[in-house]
Amino acid sequence: MRRFGKEQEGSEEPIVNLTPLIDVVFVVLISFMLISPMLEIESVDLATTGSERKKKFSSTDSTPISITVKADNTLWMQGQKYSIGELEKKLLAQKKIYPNKNPQVIHDKNASFGTYQMVKNTLEKCGFDQMDIFLKPG
């Protein structure tokens, strides 16, 4: 009988106390509920469709500062091909002429991201705070 009693005692599973785990989950939930209204979420406006899109693109073509990155990673501005150094000099001159204009970067889908990054860094170096980005399908 002793043997039978020992086996019965050993077969009981230990009880796990879940109270601390539940407390931590509630504290995290409450902190998310308090912090989430204070977060500023930036949004990206997607391109519009139809006639609004045509109007928008036709009005942006007349912008004086427009940089096109072709699929072979060449940089074009106002119909002329530029190296990154030449582009910087041209952008400095354009910044003096049009201080409040945002430059447009028309980037081909097949061009590398590194070229985009170089153009963006050059624009920042020339004093531009914002730029408009257009993706050209490849």
C-alpha separations of 120 from 28, 29, 50, 59, 90 in Å: 39, 40, 29, 22, 14
β-sheet bridge partners, residue 135: 107
| CATH at residue 114 | 3.30.420.270
| Residue span of the structural domain in which 95 resides | 61-136
Examine residue 87 and state whether it is found in any structural domain, yes or no. yes
Query: Looking at the domain assignment, is residue 36 inside a domain?
Result: no
Using one digit for the tens of pLDDT, what is the confidence trace for 36-74? Answer: 888 876 655 555 555 554 555 444 445 678 899 998 989
Any domain includes 8: no
All residues at 6 or more sequence positions from 109 whose CB lies less than 8 Å from its CB, including other chains: 71, 135, 136, 137, 138
Provide the pLDDT for residue 20: 92
Domain count, the chain: 1
